[in-house]
């Protein structure tokens, strides 16, 4: 007999609803949920392949493993032995070296309930803020800019706006590949109304750019200058919404003085685009009845990612394009629950329910709620700095959950050294053979999608249920169960006076505690429950007494800042962290493939997902290749200051001369060498701490075969 279980796709931030078909303990099919408002039944190739990618036992972590010395291989052990080992070793290191000698590196792949428990374990029980997430690598610049400009994290927009917008500005987002189901909605809207204008800002002619009315193929990293140039023209032409600026914003005079120097002529030269194209983009945006920006890693993964976000939000505030249908700055999340992690404060700089570690009142509120003496005010270490501290010996033990930092962090030689130097490495993952599991002293097998219960929040702030259709494979357990088991063991030793800190008997009980912490906050979900989410996914805020979530934020012009006014920030254009020079003359750009996901631990298991792009390559403009006497298929050594990798050459007129491109998915598992992050720059944004994964200066040499 076939059973249907409603759930949510585990890949990207679109958060598509799915129907899982199972027979006994076998998932036999996955289809789109026609009732889910994110996708109305549609799925992309990754979502459609879920049944096959999650069911295979090949490569899954099936039982706990432990080694007692680095010279040994890990041995299979029972759960009690593994959990005791983790709790004992962490507690011992904390007792000897203090709470900041341990760290947690978690993931946007976790469910909100998992995230909540890990955050409470680190900040409530141990007393360290050293918990960060791979979401640091994808959206922390967007978070920081939303907070600075609008007063609170979270997009003010919703998916309905995709169909209502008259002008769409895509910035650093290849939505056709990274958020395909939303892209189909945009295509359909444009087909129905050809007057809708698409402006795409991207150094590459991506599949998204190929469909644009106007593609601004800028030089890498020049986004702030471009947005200022557009704003200069908008102000010059009197297209700003002066009434909105006057009543609802602050800081405009300083911004106006700043953009005065960004003349369209100067900006066009700097960005490498035609001045006429820049003016056209400004006209379409400034005169549009509804302008929506869609942006992603191209803005965020930058050493000036926050400034890029702020400059784009400035455009919306100056034209009043926010808080009304079809308009607003809409950052798209990469992972399926990056947003949920933000909600529970699962980052080194945040506390539960969008509170801040730097705010003493917020710390006191959380400490009182949890019933602990205090929450540490010492900022935790964000991702890149965390691995630097491990390498330096300041952090002695690290627990890595559901992520693969030996593939996804920049400057991988440095990350591998850190993991080798750590005294104790715990890796909790559904997959046994990632680039990171090789470093694990303890491997904890986690259940995978289709085997666990909880909630996730998608890019439009919509919370959906994730449900188990089958039992976990082997001895795998849910991420929150594992965290709770260790927390109870550690709690008995470190905080015996607080025995009830981790008594949750279900994911629903965890959700209810998280919900209670949000009451009165900007993301208040006091009116939500599992029972309500069973009926339909809902957007936050959803306070008690509400009958529906809030589709759009700031519709009344009141922002979440202390003054209620949105803030303009007069940022300046700054170049990429690693400019090209005579030794490293090429800009290396990185991005995603249509059918792959992250380090391919799931998608790399299915041959059909390699049909679209079967092997890694380095794409180069044909003119650059000819100048260097290079031919398709030639093996190239691509070197940065940090290391090198070897890839075959592919030609692509989608790149301007001087830029080369490779996809970020390939790794040691699939390439017998590391992928693009082997040589990526670890320079980070000084406000968001997000690394510049999108750009590095590189040298390219042909590898002569014997
Ligand atoms: Fe899954 Fe994203 Fe594809 Fe939807 S668009 S099916 S959430 S990968």
**pLDDT tens column, 30-48:** 999 999 999 999 999 999 9
What spacing in Å lies between the alpha carbon of 622 and ligand 1's midpoint?
Answer: 33
Q: Which atom of ligand 1 is nearest to 8's Cα?
A: 7
Taking only the tens place, the pLDDT of each residue in 464-500 is 999 999 999 999 999 999 999 999 999 888 888 887 8
Contact 83, 490 (CB under 8 A): no
What spacing in Å lies between the alpha carbon of 11 and ligand 1's midpoint?
Answer: 6
Quote the pLDDT of residue 670.
Answer: 53
Q: Dihedral sign, CA of 182, 187, 188, 194?
A: positive
Give 620's contacts (C-beta < 8 A, 6+ positions apart).
630, 649, 650, 651, 652, 655, 660, 700
Contact 657, 676 (CB under 8 A): no
Contact 74, 65 (CB under 8 A): yes
Quote the pLDDT of residue 664.
Answer: 87
Closest CA to 254 of 570, 515, 29: 570
What spacing in Å lies between the alpha carbon of 609 and ligand 1's midpoint?
Answer: 14
Best residue for ligand 1 mutational test, from 7, 8, 14 (most atoms within 8 Å of Cβ): 14
Task: For tokens 């428990």, name the residue.
Answer: 117
Phi/psi for 321 (5° steps) reads -90, 70
Contact 704, 593 (CB under 8 A): no
Residue 673 has pLDDT above 60, yes or no: no
Three-state secondary structure string covering 617-635 = CEEECHHHHHHCCCCCCCE
What spacing in Å lies between the alpha carbon of 322 and ligand 1's midpoint?
Answer: 26
Quote the pLDDT of residue 602.
Answer: 81
Alpha-carbon gap, residue 127 to 83, rounded angstroms: 20
β-partners of residue 451 are none
Which residue has better confidence, 492 or 276? 276
Domains and CATH numbers, the chain: 2-55 (3.30.200.210), 68-138+336-517 (3.40.50.740), 141-328 (3.40.228.10), 586-702 (2.40.40.20)
Mean pLDDT, the chain, whole residue set? 95
What spacing in Å lies between the alpha carbon of 378 and ligand 1's midpoint?
Answer: 38
* Residue nearest atom 3 in ligand 1 by C-alpha distance: 44
What spacing in Å lies between the alpha carbon of 374 and ligand 1's midpoint?
Answer: 40
- Angle of helix 112-120 relative to helix 479-494, nearest 10 degrees, comes to 10
CB-based burial label for 537 (10 Å; 0-12, 13-18, 19+): buried
Query: What are the DSSP E strand ranges found in 217-366?
Result: 249-250, 291-295, 328-331, 350-351, 355-356
Largest Cα span, the chain:
74
Best residue for ligand 1 mutational test, from 173, 180, 456, 594 (most atoms within 8 Å of Cβ): 180
What spacing in Å lies between the alpha carbon of 603 and ligand 1's midpoint?
Answer: 13
Which tokens sit at 217? Answer: 């193929």
Find the mean pLDDT for residues 75-84: 98
Q: Which atom of ligand 1 is nearest to 597's Cα?
A: 8
Residue 579's pLDDT band, with cuts at 50, 70 and 90, is very high
β-partners of residue 619 are 650, 661
Q: Which atom of ligand 1 is nearest to 12's Cα?
A: 2
What spacing in Å lies between the alpha carbon of 154 and ligand 1's midpoint?
Answer: 20
For the chain, give the percent of residues with pLDDT over 90: 89
Residue 667 has pLDDT above 90, yes or no: no
pTM summary value: 0.96
Closest CA to 130 of 287, 357, 292: 357
Give 423's contacts (C-beta < 8 A, 6+ positions apart).
93, 396, 397
The number of angstroms, rounded, from the C-alpha of 521 to the middle of its chain's C-alpha atoms is 23
Which residue has better confidence, 492 or 288? 288
- Where helices occur in 628-683 by DSSP H, the ranges are 668-671
Residue 77 has pLDDT above 90, yes or no: yes
Which tokens sit at 425? Answer: 């490495």
Alpha-carbon gap, residue 691 to 697, rounded angstroms: 15
Cβ neighbours of 598 (radius 10 Å): 24
Find the mean pLDDT for residues 131-152: 96
Phi/psi for 473 (5° steps) reads -70, 145
For the chain, give the percent of residues with pLDDT over 70: 99
What spacing in Å lies between the alpha carbon of 44 and ligand 1's midpoint?
Answer: 6
- Angle of helix 412-421 relative to helix 383-391, nearest 10 degrees, comes to 50
- State in Å, rounded, how far the first CA of the chain is from the last one: 60
- Concatenated DSSP letters of 161-184: HHHH-SEEEEES--HHHHSHHHHH
Residue 705 has pLDDT above 80, yes or no: no
Q: Which residues sit with their C-beta closer than 6 Å to ligand 1?
A: 9, 11-12, 14-16, 39, 43-44, 46-47, 179-181
Buried b or exposed e, range 681-699, using 16+ CB within 10 angstroms: bbbbbebbbbbbbbbbbbb
Residue 601's pLDDT band, with cuts at 50, 70 and 90, is confident
Best residue for ligand 1 mutational test, from 181, 185, 609 (most atoms within 8 Å of Cβ): 181
Integer CA distances (angstroms), 456 to 170, 365, 465, in order: 25, 25, 7
Residue 385's pLDDT band, with cuts at 50, 70 and 90, is very high
Residue 67 has pLDDT above 60, yes or no: yes
């Amino acid at each position: 007999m076939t059973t249907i279980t409603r759930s949510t796709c585990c890949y990207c931030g679109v958060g598509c609803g799915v129907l899982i078909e199972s027979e006994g303990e076998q998932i036999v099919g996955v289809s789109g949920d026609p009732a889910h408002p994110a996708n109305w039944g549609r799925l992309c190739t990754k979502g459609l392949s879920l049944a096959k990618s999650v069911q295979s036992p090949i490569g899954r972590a099936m039982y706990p493993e432990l080694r007692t010395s680095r010279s040994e291989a890990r041995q299979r052990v029972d759960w009690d032995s593994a959990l005791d080992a983790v709790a004992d070793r962490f507690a011992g290191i904390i007792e000897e070296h203090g709470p900041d000698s341990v760290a947690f590196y978690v993931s946007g792949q976790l469910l909100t309930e998992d995230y909540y428990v890990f955050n409470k374990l680190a900040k409530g029980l141990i007393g360290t803020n050293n918990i960060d997430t791979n979401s640091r690598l994808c959206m922390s610049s967007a978070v920081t800019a939303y907070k600075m400009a609008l007063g609170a994290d979270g997009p003010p927009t919703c998916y309905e706006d995709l169909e209502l917008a008259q002008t769409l500005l895509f910035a650093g987002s290849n939505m056709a590949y990274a958020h395909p189901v939303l892209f189909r909605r945009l295509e359909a809207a444009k087909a129905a109304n050809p007057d809708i204008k698409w402006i795409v800002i991207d150094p590459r002619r991506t599949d998204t750019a190929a469909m644009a009315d106007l593609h601004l193929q800028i030089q890498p990293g020049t986004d702030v200058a471009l947005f200022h140039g557009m704003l200069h023209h908008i102000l010059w032409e009197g297209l700003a919404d002066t009434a909105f600026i006057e009543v609802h914003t602050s800081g405009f005079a300083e911004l106006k003085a700043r953009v005065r120097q960004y003349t369209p002529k100067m900006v066009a030269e700097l960005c490498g685009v035609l001045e006429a194209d820049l003016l056209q983009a400004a006209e379409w945006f400034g005169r549009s009845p509804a302008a929506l920006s869609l942006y992603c890693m191209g803005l965020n993964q930058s050493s000036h990612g926050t400034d890029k976000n702020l400059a784009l939000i400035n455009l919306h505030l100056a034209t009043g394009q926010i808080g009304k249908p079809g308009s607003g700055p809409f950052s798209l999340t990469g992972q399926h629950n990056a947003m949920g992690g933000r909600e529970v404060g699962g980052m080194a700089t945040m506390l539960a329910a969008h509170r801040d570690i730097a705010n003493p009142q917020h710390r006191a509120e959380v400490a009182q709620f949890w019933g602990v003496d205090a929450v540490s005010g010492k900022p935790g270490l964000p991702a890149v700095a965390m691995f630097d501290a491990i390498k330096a010996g300041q952090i002695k033990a690290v627990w890595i959950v559901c992520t693969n930092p030996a593939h996804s962090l920049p400057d991988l030689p440095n990350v591998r050294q850190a993991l080798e130097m750590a005294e104790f490495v715990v890796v909790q993952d559904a997959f046994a053979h990632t680039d990171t599991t090789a470093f694990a002293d303890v491997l904890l097998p986690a259940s995978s999608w289709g085997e666990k219960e909880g909630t996730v929040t998608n890019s439009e702030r919509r919370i959906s249920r994730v449900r188990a259709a089958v039992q976990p494979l082997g001895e795998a357990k849910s991420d929150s169960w594992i965290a709770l088991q260790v927390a109870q063991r550690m709690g008995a030793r470190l905080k015996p006076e607080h025995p009830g800190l981790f008594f949750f008997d279900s994911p629903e009980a965890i959700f209810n505690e998280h919900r209670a912490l949000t009451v009165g906050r900007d993301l208040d979900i006091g009116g939500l429950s599992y029972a309500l989410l069973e009926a339909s996914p809902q957007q936050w805020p959803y306070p008690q007494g509400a009958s529906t979530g809030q589709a759009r934020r700031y519709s009344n012009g009141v922002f979440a800042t202390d003054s209620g006014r949105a803030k303009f920030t007069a940022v300046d254009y700054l170049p990429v962290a690693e400019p090209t020079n005579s030794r490293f003359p090429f800009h290396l750009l990185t991005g995603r493939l249509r059918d792959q996901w992250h380090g391919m631990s799931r998608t790399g298991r299915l041959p059909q997902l390699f049909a679209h792009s079967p092997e890694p390559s380095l794409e180069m403009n044909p003119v650059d290749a000819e100048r260097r006497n290079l031919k398709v298929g030639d093996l190239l050594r691509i070197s940065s200051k940090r290391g090198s990798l070897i890839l075959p050459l592919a030609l692509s007129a989608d790149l301007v001369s001087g830029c080369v491109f490779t996809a970020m998915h390939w790794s040691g598992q699939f390439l017998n060498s590391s992928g693009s992050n082997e040589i990526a720059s670890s320079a980070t944004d000084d406000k968001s701490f997000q690394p510049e994964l999108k750009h590095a200066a590189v040298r390219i040499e042909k590898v002569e075969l014997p």
